[in-house]
Amino acid sequence: MVRHVGRSEVRSTGRPSGPRAQRAPGHARAAQQRRGPAAALRMALSGRSVAGQVFVLQVVIVLLLVVAAVVALVLQVRHDSTIEARNRSVAVAEAFANAPGTREALDDPDPTEVLQPRAEAAREATGVDFIVVMNTDGTRYTHPFPDRIGKKFVGTLGPALAGRVVTEEITGTIGPLVQAVVPIKADDGSVVGLVSAGITTENVGGAANDQLPVLLAAAAAGLALATAGTALVSRRLLRQTHGLGPNEMTRMYEHHDAVLHAVREGVMIVGDEGRLLLANDEAHRLLDLPEDALGRQVQDLGLAPDTADLLASGRMATDEVHLVGDRLLAVNQRPTDLQGAPAGSVATLRDSTELRALSGRAETARERLNMLYDAGVEIGTSLDVARTAEELAALVVPRFADFATVDLFEAVLDGGQPDVSADVRRTAVSGIRKDAPLYPLGQQIRLVASAPQARAVRSGQAVLEPRLREATGWRAQDQERSAQVVEYGIHSLIAVPLRAGSLVLGVVTFWRSEKPEPFDTDELALAEELVTRAAVSIDNARRYTREHNMAVTLQRSLLPRNLPEQDALEIAYRYLPAQEGVGGDWFDVLPLSGARVALVVGDVVGHGLHAAATMGRLRTAVHNFSALDLPPDELLSLLDELVGRIDQDETAEGGSAPVTGATCLYAIYDPVSRNCTVARAGHPPPALIHPDGSVEFPDVPAGPPLGLGGLPFETVDLELAEGSRLVLYTDGLVEDRERDIDVGLELLRAALEQAGESPEDTCRVVLDSRLTVRSSDDIALIVARTRALDADRVAEWQVPSDPAAVADVRASVTRQLARWELDELTFTTELILSELVTNAIRYGGDPIHVRMLRDRTLICEVFDSSSTSPHLRYAAMTDEGGRGLFLVAQLAERWGTRYTPAGKVIWAEQPLP
């Protein structure tokens, strides 16, 4: 076996020789594996191996330590018990000597009778073996054994008679003991008696004797645990030494040392403080280490900074390439303390200069893949053409190019079809510096045919200009600027057309100045891939812009451009479109008969062309229905039916979404009565600002949104003081994804309370408040301040149901027109009212009421209780009647009929002269 190798098998160099020496470590491990773990452990613990010798030595040391600890612990316990016995004896004796009645009992004729019961009770309570009271001669008055009373006390009394406390270990009448003697002093300090308390030696050592088995058991357990721990340590040492003895380990070390210096790979071991502990011959050669490198700091060996930092850091590295001189070294480094070994690191160095090109190409490919991935994530985050172009330019600088410019055709920016013969506009610029002499952002550029950008647009293929200083065609674009570009240091470019299918949207140019190498064909392919991905996003943004512009145009054409003239309300309004998309919010002001005005505001949920088109249909319907002079609840019912039919038609077609979610609020204000009738269909309630500035939200029943059907709408009549402001709005003002409508209403209330008196001030304050900071929906806002028609501009007459009363009406009208200085309208007004009153008397019912209003026009109204409506017809030449309404229609500017709960009103308007 290996352990029998003699000195003759070792050369003078101290290294093993011969086949047996080379096979020794392997044979030892193989033999250990064949014997099995138990046999290997028995052999290791036999003392013939390093692990066995360490185990025996550690077991002996532990055993000696355990025995010494047990002996010291027993002695300490006994010593502590004796000290405790002394202290307890003194305490008990002093307590009894100073107890009330003890001194007085000494003067009693029979002290024993008094003191014996007390002493025994105290002895049992304190756990001592005796309490003896005696006189100054040492004669006992008390004792646990009554037959000993009256006899002399065994012990030293002199110090106690002198007034001191005495403790001692003696052999008394009850055996070896620890006792204390305490004097009993009179009031003048003289000693009149003595008290002794003590514990026998048997009881003193009893606690220690009781603890001795526990101590021995603990010692045995400690010895067992220490032996087990030592065995585990020895077992680990056995694994590390493979069961080898000292000679075998020496031989194995020499073998490993020979291998270490023979391999053609550098090996270095660095300590945890950055000190070089080992370096083989190959490491010396590769790193050109000095002869005295061992033991020195790695940072002081003259290595390249990156290589020295890596070796000194001890961090893990895998095939990390470092340039050392003219060599390219692949360095692998691992910490040595991962499995309990000493702190430090081991590094291997491999001369892999041929790996340099491959590594560079792999890194470049990885960077290009990352850039393409980032292009898919970072380009096209919004549907804005300019921002998408800016994202492309920002992505490639400085990762791919030093400067990047994006030029788009003007039509693309507006969402239209590009014209390759038109000028381009610089839409995005990005660079490592801001002072490059390139066309600035926003510059309109006409591409010259010989320029790379024009060639790229014309051919649809990318163009590479590797050396701008030598190229001539691109200078024709701008001779002066081209010279400045070259002088600035830009020496190479790639121009790539932005193609989306068959459309060329513009051109992207990549410029290089810092890197001395020009763009190559591989980079040209990467540029084409990047631009291709960006072109899809830009084309999507262009299409969205086109649709958005169309929707905005449609919406603006459907909204009122100017408010109609009327005197009942002073009105101001605002309309804010959504930040993205076009919504279906609308509003309107509709003059009605009798100087009344209708206010309407509505909202079609959704965005885009569909919402805008639906909004236009609803607004038109409201215009038509309002011409019928319907009450708000009836108008909303008709609008609800219309939306239901629209939903059915579009559902049947299958190409459009239903209009579910359309809301509307309709209000009619009468300046004569100052009454405002309001109804709403799922719309936010109106706000009312009183003349004193207070704000309230009138309780108007909400009603279902339009299109649901089946439920009636309710109206509320509000009497508004002159100067009140009625505020109508859409939900975009008070509600969004992050704010509940109740919070929005409170914010609106706060803004309205701070608003000025005019509707314009009110609109401005509301839009300047926090309500519109983050709105993602359309906002329609209309503020109407009420006016009242003065009483002197209203004339009313009750008319009896008698044809003769028509003459009285004409006379009253003539007088009223004279007061209003409208004599020019006397004839036509008399004729109109004569016909209308005659029809009411003939075909209507009582009561009949005539009212004349002087507003922007002269309004004549005839009320009766009949619900039948007259209609205009052409009378034949032989007819005696039927021409009354025809004459009214010819003389009046407008005329019509409206219904009231009590009947109907026929009205006619004439322009004022």
State the average pLDDT over residues 583-600: 90
More confident position, 407 or 372: 407
End-to-end CA distance of the chain: 139
- What local confidence, expressed as pLDDT, does residue 21 receive? 37
For residue 80, the model assigns a pLDDT of 72
Mean pLDDT of the chain: 81
- Can you give the pLDDT at residue 8? 32
pLDDT at 416: 85
- The Cα 601–Cα 588 span in angstroms is 6
Q: 862 with 904: CB under 8 angstroms?
A: no
Q: In the predicted model, is pLDDT for residue 173 greater than 60?
A: yes
Residue 902: pLDDT over 80: yes
pLDDT of residue 15: 38
pLDDT given at position 364: 72
Q: Provide the pLDDT for residue 462.
A: 93
Q: Which of 350-354, 558-562, 563-567 has the highest mean pLDDT?
A: 563-567
CB 303 within 8 A of CB 311: yes
Return the percentage of the chain with pLDDT > 70, whole number.
82
Spatial separation of the C-alpha atoms in residues 229 and 59, rounded to whole Å: 10
pLDDT above 90: residue 691: yes
Kindly tell me if the per-residue pLDDT of 354 is higher than 80: no
Find out whether 337 and 359 touch, Cβ atoms under 8 Å.
Answer: no
Cα radius of gyration (the chain): 57
pLDDT at 6: 34
At 590, is the pLDDT very low, low, confident or very high (cuts 50, 70, 90)? very high
Tell me the per-residue pLDDT of 725-756, one tens digit each, with 9 for 90 and over.
999 998 888 887 777 788 889 989 999 998 88
Q: Looking at residue 548, what is its pLDDT?
A: 73
Rounded to 5°, the CA angle 317-322-328 comes to: 125
Residue 30 has pLDDT above 60, yes or no: no
What pLDDT, on a 0 to 100 scale, did the predictor assign at position 454? 92
| DSSP string for residues in 541-556 | HHHHHHHHHHHHHHHH
Confidence category of residue 287, pLDDT binned at 50, 70, 90 = confident
Which of 51-60, 535-544, 775-784 has the least mean pLDDT? 51-60
What backbone torsions phi and psi does residue 701 show, to the nearest 5 degrees?
A: -50, 135
- Tell me, rounded to whole angstroms, the distance of Cα 461 from its chain centroid: 44
Q: How far apart are CA 143 and CA 158, in angstroms?
A: 21
- Would you state the pLDDT for residue 187? 81
In contact, 810 and 834? CB cutoff 8 Å = yes
The C-alpha atoms of residue 639 and residue 876 are separated, in whole angstroms, by 39
pLDDT value at residue 226: 73
Q: Answer yes or no: is pLDDT of 879 > 60.
A: no
Contact between 567 and 859 (Cβ < 8 Å): no
Question: Residue 583's beta-bridge partner residues?
Answer: 607
Picking from 35-39, 456-460, 704-708, which range would have the lowest pLDDT averaged per residue?
A: 35-39
Nearest in space to 539 (alpha carbons), one of 692, 401, 380, 677: 380
The pLDDT value given to residue 497: 94
pLDDT of 677 reads 96
808, pLDDT greater than 60:
yes
Answer whether 267's CB lies under 8 Å from 283's CB. Answer: yes
Instruction: Please report which confidence band the pLDDT of residue 58 belongs to, taking 50, 70 and 90 as the band edges.
Output: confident
pLDDT value at position 518? 92
Instruction: Say how many C-beta atoms besides its own lie within 10 A of residue 911's C-beta.
Output: 11
**Which of these ranges, 83-87, 572-576, 585-589, has the smallest mean pLDDT?**
83-87
pLDDT in tens, 390-408: 999 999 998 899 999 999 9
**List of residues 6+ apart from 63 with CB closer than 8 A:** 223
Of residues 176 and 716, the one with the higher pLDDT is 716
pLDDT value at residue 88: 82
Q: Is the pLDDT of residue 698 over 90?
A: yes
Three-state helix/strand/coil letters over 704-747: CCECCCCCCCCCEEEECCCCCEEEEECHHHCCECCECHHHHHHH
Q: Measuring CA to CA, which residue among 893, 783, 895 is closest to residue 839?
A: 895
The average pLDDT across 87-98 equals 85
531's CB contacts (< 8 A; 6+ apart) are 392, 462, 496, 497, 498, 508
Q: Can you give the pLDDT at residue 242? A: 61
pLDDT at 703 over 80: yes
pLDDT on residue 880:
43
Structure-token pair, residue 477 = 């674009």
Spatial CA neighbour of 643 closest among 663, 628, 629: 663
Mean pLDDT for 520-537 is 90
Q: Cα 426 from chain centroid?
A: 36
- Indicate the pLDDT class of residue 478, thresholds 50, 70 and 90: confident
The beta strand positions in 356-450, using DSSP E, are: 403-409, 424-431, 444-445
Q: What is the mean pLDDT of residues 193-214?
A: 71
Give me the pLDDT at residue 20, please: 35
Report the alpha-carbon distance of residue 594 to residue 596 in Å, rounded: 5
Identify the pLDDT of residue 341: 63
Select from 795, 896, 891, 881 the least CA-distant residue to 843.
881
CA proximity to 112, closest of 135, 152, 142: 142
Rounded to whole angstroms, the Cα distance separating 235 from 239 reads: 6
Out of 16-25, 84-93, 777-786, 867-876, which region has the weakest mean confidence (pLDDT)?
16-25
Of the ranges 124-133, 191-200, 233-242, 470-479, which one carries the lowest mean pLDDT score?
233-242
* Range scoring the smallest mean pLDDT among 164-173, 206-215, 342-351, 419-428: 206-215
Q: Are 671 and 786 in contact (CB under 8 A)?
A: yes
* Alpha-helical segments (H) within 477-608: 479-488, 521-558
Torsion angle, CA of 256/258/259/260, rounded to 10 degrees?
Answer: 80
Tell me what pLDDT residue 484 has: 92
Of the two residues 51 and 619, the one the predictor is more confident about is 619
Side chain identity at 295, as an amino acid letter?
G
Q: How far apart are CA 146 and CA 153, in angstroms?
A: 13
Q: What is the pLDDT of residue 665?
A: 96
pLDDT of residue 35: 47
Mean pLDDT of 217-226: 75
Q: Residue 734 contacts by C-beta under 8 Å, 6 or more apart in sequence?
A: 684, 741, 744, 745, 747, 748, 771
- 736-775 burial, b at 16+ Cβ within 10 Å, e below that, comes to beeeeeeebbebbbebbeebeeebbebbeebbebebbeeb
The reported pLDDT for the residue numbered 591 is 94
Segment 14-21 mean pLDDT = 37
* Residue 170 and residue 154 in contact, taking contact as beta carbons nearer than 8 Å: yes
- 304-340 pLDDT tens trace: 888 888 888 888 888 888 888 777 788 898 888 766 6
Q: Given this model, what pLDDT does residue 178 score?
A: 86
Whether the bond between 398 and the residue before it is cis, its omega within 30 degrees of 0, is: yes
Question: What local confidence, expressed as pLDDT, does residue 2 receive?
Answer: 33
Contact 282, 263 (CB under 8 A): yes
799, containing H or E segment: strand 794-799
Q: Is the pLDDT of residue 270 over 60?
A: yes
Candidates 428, 389, 429; CA nearest to 539 is 389
pLDDT at 666: 96
